[in-house]
Structure 1
Amino acid sequence: MSLDLPSYIAGEAVHSSDKLDVFYPWNNTLTGTVSNITPEQLDQAIDAALRGQHTPLSRYERHTILRKAANLLAEHREELAQLICRETGLCIRESMYETGRSSEVLEFAAIEALKDDGEVFSCDISPQGKNRKIITFKQPLQLICAITPFNHPLNQVVHKVAPAIAAGAPMILKPSDKSPLTAIRFAELLYEAGLPGWMLSVVSGDIDTIVTPMITDDRVEMISFTGSVKVGKHIAKIAGYKKTCLELGGNSPLIILEDADIDLAVKLAAEGCFRNSGQRCTAVKRLLVQESILETFTSRFVEQAKEYIAGDPEHPETRVGTVIDEPAAIYLEQVLRRAETDGARVLLGGNRNGALMEPTVISHVPRDTPMVAEESFGPLAPIIAIIDLDDAIQYYNSGNFGLSSGIVTNNMTEALKAAKHLRTGTTNINEIPGFRIESSPFGGIKDSGLGIKEGVTEAVKFMQNTKTFSIPWE
């Protein structure tokens, strides 16, 4: 049975005859519908956040709401995991994992809500100084607009909404048209946890009548966007004079040097390439393997990759579900065939059935073939030979992306060299590029973003302004 969910304007459900349909990528059945809003209702959402008649939530109130939401999310974990699976095709074991991560975001945000990072500056420290104190405190932005992608339809949403609540900043959330259902159910849990309606609206609507007006509205002080490079750069052009936090694509390498622990390298490569059906901005998109161990690594990796069973996302043994829809899978198939034309060899997988793309291992991949020159968002594992670490660094840095990277080595000098010289937001040593905790800074440079960090701690800071005042201090 499919869901019929509303949009929410300041906590009030809005139903309409204008519906957005959401389909299950596995078999194209209807998962649910969402009511789209009108431009007038968007204005109502903005007005509700700004009208100035609200009593600001105390730090303790924000903390309490976030803790209650974490508990409610835990209680509804299986329901939300099933919903994630049914609207994205993500296998159930991965969607269960996502709900756990999202609970951690709420817990970390609850901790941040209690922190006061105000400072005091003495003013008598220079010849021209006075006997005064300058004191700083934080004030929340008046309104934030958040736009989230289809992958991680819960965790990406929580990573924007929870810091806003911790900061005390109202938000209008526009989830992806491909996976909005989970976001709306999560909003309902937040309202149940005590979040005042004016603090959060969750809306659905098309680009021209809802999304662009929301981005360009001068009353919105910040845009937080996670998604494609093309859309992110468009937002940067039209947003106007406001804060923007743009977390865009990635083309993350896992660099494997000749001294690496091969067992570890093979495990990390498989996890990095195939988990979440390869649909993570930090997923391993290129395996850069030193020539002296290339043959050994490749044969071991192919055997490991065979354990990643692709199929029915709801089956508990499935490790790789579908990608988001059939056109996405067709694109992956096309770049794979192009790589073969360019000289690459498929060692495992390579087949597509609807939106299901098999975990695929590819060797002899040219560095300039589109599959690796740009981001391929799926369970593809291209292997590229490198001469040494310098070769890997030069190759990666010559590209357009700069989000995350990983290196597998037992040589600390080489590890630190990679950390210093790879032009990315993150370099993980003996770990996948995507490793982090939900409170640590996260973000990229170049086409991966503007260098502004997400992660709960940094996001809260970016959603506030620092105010100073001074007082006599005799």
Structure 2
Amino acid sequence: MTIKHYALPIGGELMETGAALDVYDKYRGRVIATVAVADRRTVDLAVAAASRAFETIRLSPYERFSILKRTSELLLREKKALAELITAETGKPIADSLTEVERTAQTVEISAEEAKRIHGEGVPVESAPGAENRMAFTIRVPIGVVCAITPFNVPLNLAAHKIAPALAAGNAVVVKPASATPLSAIRLAQLMEEAGLPKGLLNVVVGSGETVGSWLAQDPRIGLYTFTGSPEVGRRLKQDTGLRNVLLELGSNSAVIVHEDADLELAADLCAAKSFANAGQVCISVQRIYVHDRVWEPFVGLLAEKTKALIAGDPYDASTQVGPMISEKEAIRAERWIKEAESAGATIECGGIRNGSVLQPTILTGVDDAMKVVCEEIFAPVVGLMKYRDLDGCIAAVNRSRYGLQAGIFTRNAEAAFRAARELRVGGVIINDASQFRADQMPYGGVKESGWGKEGPKYAIREMTEERIVVWNLGT
């Protein structure tokens, strides 16, 4: 097997640094590529290239649209090769990787369309005494250099969710992909260059958060940071960046409520699919399911039946639904959390078996708020079920979490649905679907320790631009 080497796209050139990291096939465990690792000088050059490009290149909204639209088309042209790349570097089942490429193309296309829709609004200052002869309006202007720090679990689409809106808004970008999965972001940068993106507007640096991430956080030339990762790293990033803007998506332990009048077949189907997709390594994966005691037994039986039918293993097999976790180390950690919960009184209804980095989809009952599988983000194919009797108490239990990204509720009762929508302290409430629903054009972001700020192209562009008031004195 030929091991490909990737240099870093910086300032329109491919830069070598003298150091490289190995990228592994997460299922087969062998090296598939090497990538240049950025040193401090490389990071400085990347930010300088972005700053220079932002100051000297003025693309019209239609030019931004055209480049992004062409990128979307190129993504679909490369769908098979990109999906194979994603599966290799993440372990995601090939069917899911194909879907990720399609969604990435949609994210970029939506961003292209939004590039033509950035606008301000009129402000009626003339209604203020003494300002009768003035007219005012706002405009939205790009922030400048955007630093995008992306996670390993959805390496192409989540990179696109940061890069494409930033470019659509007229900014320049420095992106630092996760070291475990840097290949997708580098390939995206290559496709954008092929689509006509001018040199320097998109730059890629690879390295650890302790070094490359820290250097980026300290660079005053960067105007905004958009980060997806853990609350601990997000908190440190916010502290290091001071008064500059930061968008944070910091994960969750998402809850789903199965009310007494729920369609149990629908709820079990969707919870089985969305608890274990991408081996549970999605920020809005279903982790906690609160089941009304009147439907406890039939729902647990249905969910276990559907979960046992899932095929886990080789992600290159088109029939596989649950692939390996990002590393055996993470699978061992999740296995340990399962055993800790079992020792504390939980019951393993199915799963709990690990083979290397593949952890079988696992259902736990008898869990409580003190267990890590409930109160922490497990980021693994594990879901815990708890009973409830009244909706008020259930909503209070859901809200006890320090996280608040998304939640779901299954019910035929409109009053119960709207009460959940009003009272659940999360960024999104999904009715008659699981928490792990996301359409790429919708606003996406959490509350509490799940972060702040919104993704989704339209909403990200709003975050990545500044509102400026313009007041015109019309004379006397």
Query: What does residue range 23-422 of structure 1 map to in structure 2 within 5 Å?
Result: 23-51=24-52, 54-422=56-424
Aligned counterparts of 1:169 and 1:90: Cα–Cα separation in 2 = 31
User: Is contact 1:274-1:308 (8 Å) kept?
Assistant: no
What residue in structure 2 maps to residue 5 of structure 1?
A: 6
Q: CA deviation at 1:3?
A: 2.3
Aligned counterparts of 1:209 and 1:124: Cα–Cα separation in 2 = 52
What residue in structure 1 maps to residue 18 of structure 2?
A: 17
**35-44 vs 189-198, greater mean Cα deviation:** 35-44
Q: CA deviation at 1:208?
A: 4.2
Q: CA deviation at 1:179?
A: 0.5
User: Is contact 1:367-1:384 (8 Å) kept?
Assistant: no
- 2:287 partner SS: strand
Aligned counterparts of 2:419 and 2:471: Cα–Cα separation in 1 = 45
Instruction: Show CA shifts across 1:44-85 (max 9, x none).
Output: 222222236523100000000000000000000111110110
The 3 A distance-change label for structure 1 pair 249 and 208 is closer
What residue in structure 2 maps to residue 469 of structure 1?
A: 470
Aligned counterparts of 1:50 and 1:205: Cα–Cα separation in 2 = 21
Q: CA deviation at 1:26?
A: 1.1
- 2:127 partner SS: coil
Aligned counterparts of 1:449 and 1:390: Cα–Cα separation in 2 = 25
Q: CA deviation at 1:388?
A: 2.2
Aligned counterparts of 2:168 and 2:473: Cα–Cα separation in 1 = 32
Which letter maps to 1:108? I
User: Is contact 1:257-1:388 (8 Å) kept?
Assistant: no
Q: When the two structures are superposed, what TM-score results if normalisation uses the length of structure 1?
A: 0.97
The 3 A distance-change label for structure 1 pair 206 and 348 is closer
Q: CA deviation at 1:38?
A: 2.2
Which letter maps to 1:350? G
User: Is contact 1:343-1:365 (8 Å) kept?
Assistant: yes
Q: CA deviation at 1:207?
A: 3.5
Q: Which runs of 4+ in 1 moved over 3 A?
A: 206-209
Aligned counterparts of 2:359 and 2:131: Cα–Cα separation in 1 = 68
- 1:213 partner SS: helix
Aligned counterparts of 1:367 and 1:352: Cα–Cα separation in 2 = 24
Q: CA deviation at 1:468?
A: 2.2
- 2:433 partner SS: coil
Which letter maps to 2:328? E
- 1:401 partner SS: coil
- 1:254 partner SS: strand
Which letter maps to 1:28? G
Q: CA deviation at 1:210?
A: 2.2
User: Is contact 1:123-1:131 (8 Å) kept?
Assistant: no
Aligned counterparts of 2:58 and 2:474: Cα–Cα separation in 1 = 30
Instruction: Show CA shifts across 1:163-202 (max 9, x none).
Output: 0111010010000011001110111001100111211100
Structure 2 residue ranges without an equivalent (≥5)? none
Structure 1 residue ranges without an equivalent (≥5)? none
The 3 A distance-change label for structure 1 pair 17 and 123 is closer
Which letter maps to 1:145? C
Which letter maps to 1:14? M
- 2:386 partner SS: strand
Q: CA RMSD in A?
A: 1.3
Q: CA deviation at 1:43?
A: 1.4
Aligned counterparts of 2:129 and 2:335: Cα–Cα separation in 1 = 70
Aligned counterparts of 2:412 and 2:242: Cα–Cα separation in 1 = 48
Q: CA deviation at 1:4?
A: 1.0
User: Is contact 1:286-1:381 (8 Å) kept?
Assistant: yes
User: Paired residues, what number?
Assistant: 473
Q: CA deviation at 1:302?
A: 1.0
Which letter maps to 1:291? D
Aligned counterparts of 2:41 and 2:208: Cα–Cα separation in 1 = 14
Q: CA deviation at 1:118?
A: 1.8
Which letter maps to 2:448? K
